[in-house]
A and B are shown apart, each in its own frame.
With several copies, the nearest count.
Chain A
Amino acid sequence: MLSTFFAVLRRDLLLAWRGRADVMVTLAFFVIVVCLFPFGVGAEPNLLRAIAPGVLWVAALLACLLSLHRLFAQDYADGTLEQLLLSSEPAVLWVLAKILAFWLTTGLPVVVVAPGLGLLLDLEQGALPVLVLSLALGTPILALLGAVGAALTLGVRGGGMLLALLILPLFVPVLIFGAGAVEAEASGTGALAHLLLLGGGLAGALALAPIACAASLRISTE
Chain B
Amino acid sequence: MLEADNLACLKGDRLLFRGLALRLAAGELLRIAGPNGVGKTSLLRLVSGLALAEAGEVRWKGTAIGRDREAFHRDLLYVGHAPALNDMLTPLENLQFTIAAAGDEADAESCMQALVRIGLANQLDLPARVLSQGQRRRVGLARLFLSARRPLWVLDEPFTALDVGAVEDLAGTLSDHCTAGGMVMLTTHQDAPFAMPPKVLDVGAFAC
Contact call A85/B50, Cβ cutoff below 8 A = yes
**B101 — which chain A residues lie within 8 A by C-beta?**
4, 7-8, 80, 83-84, 87, 94
- Restricting to B61-118, which residues have a CB under 8 Å from any CB of A? 70-71, 73-74, 76, 78, 80-89, 93, 97-98, 100-103, 105
Given A82-B50, A88-B74, A221-B50, CB of A4 within 8 Å of CB of B86: no
Contact of A79 among B51, B82, B93 (CB under 8 A): B82
**B48 — which chain A residues lie within 8 A by C-beta?**
86
Contact call B102/A83, Cβ cutoff below 8 A = yes
Given A7-B100, A14-B93, CB of A79 within 8 Å of CB of B88: no
Output the nearest chain B residue to A8 by Cβ-Cβ distance: B101
**B84 — which chain A residues lie within 8 A by C-beta?**
78-80, 82-83
Q: CA of A5 to CA of B70 in the docked complex: distance in angstroms?
A: 16
- Restricting to A118-163, which residues have a CB under 8 Å from any CB of B? 157
Q: CA of A86 to CA of B49 in the docked complex: distance in angstroms?
A: 8
Contact of B83 among A79, A86, A88, A90 (CB under 8 A): A79
Q: CA of A14 to CA of B97 in the docked complex: distance in angstroms?
A: 11
Contact call B50/A86, Cβ cutoff below 8 A = yes
**B73 — which chain A residues lie within 8 A by C-beta?**
86-88
- By secondary structure, the B interface counts as loop
Output the nearest chain B residue to A85 by Cβ-Cβ distance: B50
**Size of A's binding interface in residues, CB under 8 A:** 29
A 65-76 to B, binary, CB cutoff 8 A, 1 in contact else 0: 000000000110
A 4-39 to B, binary, CB cutoff 8 A, 1 in contact else 0: 101110010011001100000000000000000000
Output the nearest chain A residue to B78 by Cβ-Cβ distance: A86
Give chain B nearest CB distance to A93 CB in angstroms: 10
**Size of B's binding interface in residues, CB under 8 A:** 29
Q: CA of A123 to CA of B196 in the docked complex: distance in angstroms?
A: 77
Given A4-B100, A4-B101, A19-B88, CB of A11 within 8 Å of CB of B50: no
Q: CA of A221 to CA of B89 in the docked complex: distance in angstroms?
A: 21
Contact of A18 among B51, B76, B88 (CB under 8 A): B88
Q: CA of A90 to CA of B103 in the docked complex: distance in angstroms?
A: 10
Any A CB within 8 A of the CB of B146:
no
B 36-65 to A, binary, CB cutoff 8 A, 1 in contact else 0: 000000000000111110000000000000
Q: CA of A6 to CA of B103 in the docked complex: distance in angstroms?
A: 11
Contact call B103/A78, Cβ cutoff below 8 A = no
Any B CB within 8 A of the CB of A189:
no
> 11 A–B contact pairs at CB < 8 A?
A3-B105, A4-B101, A14-B93, A15-B89, A79-B80, A79-B83, A82-B50, A83-B84, A83-B102, A94-B101, A221-B50
Q: Which residues of B contact A (CB under 8 A)?
A: 48-52, 70-71, 73-74, 76, 78, 80-89, 93, 97-98, 100-103, 105
Known: A11-B93, A15-B88. 7 other contacts (CB 8 A): A78-B83, A79-B85, A80-B98, A82-B50, A86-B102, A87-B101, A88-B74
For the complex of A and B, 4 pairs with smallest distance between CB atoms: A79-B82, A7-B100, A79-B84, A88-B74
